[in-house]
Structure formats: structure tokens, C-alpha cells
């Protein structure tokens, strides 16, 4: 079924033309939201202007239509120590189940490798509605460091990451369009 959808993922990094939508996603996304942090447009703009942060977003289209900007990941990069930490990872419920989260993760991790990052850290913080992503980081290959019912900490050595490379999802760089 997923192959028949003709999925296309367009990826964006620090794209200031979509700040409003990115902020809106942080305000409204609950189910597929690993930390449920809420940010204003001003916050997102500050992240994009700060060289220590990378703001990744994606747009999804399929044979039925364009779902718009439906995914976000904000990463804090510690260049001197070759480490990074995921601040926010979320995806709109409109595209859950299509496995675009795997292709998005592949892209983010590849980009971080290009920046010289060797270790990526992340957290899951439980909310009233995000139970479905309680094991997301484990599913994409992160190692659980510690945790309890309400919060888990993860780490991934990027050289150990195995990309999912889902061939039925066409991935495009938003800058090249």
C-alpha cells in the first residue's frame, strides 16, 4: 500500500519562509511529539539564526495531495565536542503510518555526520497524548541510557546508525527546488 502512494518528502534546513508553520506545529502537535515543547515564531527564528542549532522540517506529498509542512526536528549542535542533542522531534498526525519519520531521521543523521557530529543524544518526555512514540528512538537505533515512565534518555553513535533507506519514498532537498 505505501509503495502505491507515490510518497515525496521535501526536506528543509533553517528555512525562514516556513517559521510560522513550524511554530504552529510545536503548538498543536501532541501524538507524535517526543518532548512536547512549545515554541513561538520568535523562538523558531532565534533557533534558525543561531549557528549552534539546526531546524529541520519536511513537506509530504502523495498521489492524493500535498500535506504541507508536517514534520520538525530541532537539534542543538556542540561542534567542539562533536555531539548534538535533539531538542524537538515531531510529526503531524496527518502523515503518521507512512514511515516518513524513518526517511526524515536518515536525512537528519546524514546531515549531522557531514557536520562532524559523532554522538547524538535525545529525550522522550511523556505527555498525556504521546504514548505512541514512547519507543520511537529505540526503533530507529538509539541506545536507551536511562529512564522511567515519564522520561527516557537516549544516545546514538552516528557511525553505528543503519539508515532505513525506504525506496518507496522519494526524498528531495528543499533548497534545490
Q: What is the pTM of this model?
A: 0.94
Q: Which helix H or strand E contains 34, and what residues bound it?
A: none
| pLDDT tens digits, one per residue of 93-115 | 888 888 899 999 999 999 999 99
| pLDDT tens digits, one per residue of 23-52 | 999 999 999 999 999 999 999 999 999 999
Alpha helices per DSSP H over 55-122: 100-114
∠ CA 125-150-157, nearest 5°, is 55
More confident residue, 152 or 170: 152
Block residue for cell numbers 498543536: 28
Q: Which of 123, 122, 115, 110 is nearest to 158 (CA)?
A: 110
Q: Which helix H or strand E contains 139, and what residues bound it?
A: helix 136-139
Assign 3-state DSSP to the chain and report helix, strand, coil percentages, each to 5: 30, 35, 30
Amino acid at each position: 500500500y505505501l509503495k502505491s502512494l507515490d510518497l515525496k518528502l521535501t526536506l528543509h534546513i533553517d528555512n525562514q519562509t516556513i517559521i510560522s508553520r513550524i511554530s504552529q506545529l510545536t503548538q498543536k502537535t501532541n501524538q507524535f511529539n517526543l518532548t512536547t515543547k512549545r515554541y513561538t515564531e520568535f523562538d523558531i527564528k532565534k533557533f534558525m539564526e543561531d549557528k549552534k542549532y539546526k531546524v529541520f522540517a519536511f513537506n509530504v506529498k502523495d498521489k492524493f495531495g500535498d500535506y504541507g509542512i508536517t514534520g520538525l526536528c530541532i537539534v542543538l549542535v556542540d561542534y567542539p565536542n562533536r555531539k548534538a542533542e535533539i531538542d524537538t522531534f515531531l510529526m503531524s498526525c496527518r502523515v503518521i503510518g507512512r514511515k516518513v519519520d524513518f526517511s526524515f531521521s536518515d536525512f537528519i543523521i546524514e546531515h549531522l555526520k557531514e557536520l562532524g557530529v559523532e554522538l547524538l543524544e535525545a529525550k522522550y518526555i511523556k505527555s498525556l497524548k504521546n504514548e505512541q512514540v514512547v519507543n520511537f528512538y529505540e526503533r530507529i537505533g538509539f541506545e536507551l541510557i536511562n529512564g522511567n515512565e515519564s522520561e527516557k534518555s537516549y544516545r546514538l553513535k552516528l557511525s553505528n546508525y543503519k539508515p532505513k533507506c525506504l525506496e518507496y519514498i522519494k526524498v528531495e532537498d528543499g533548497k534545490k527546488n
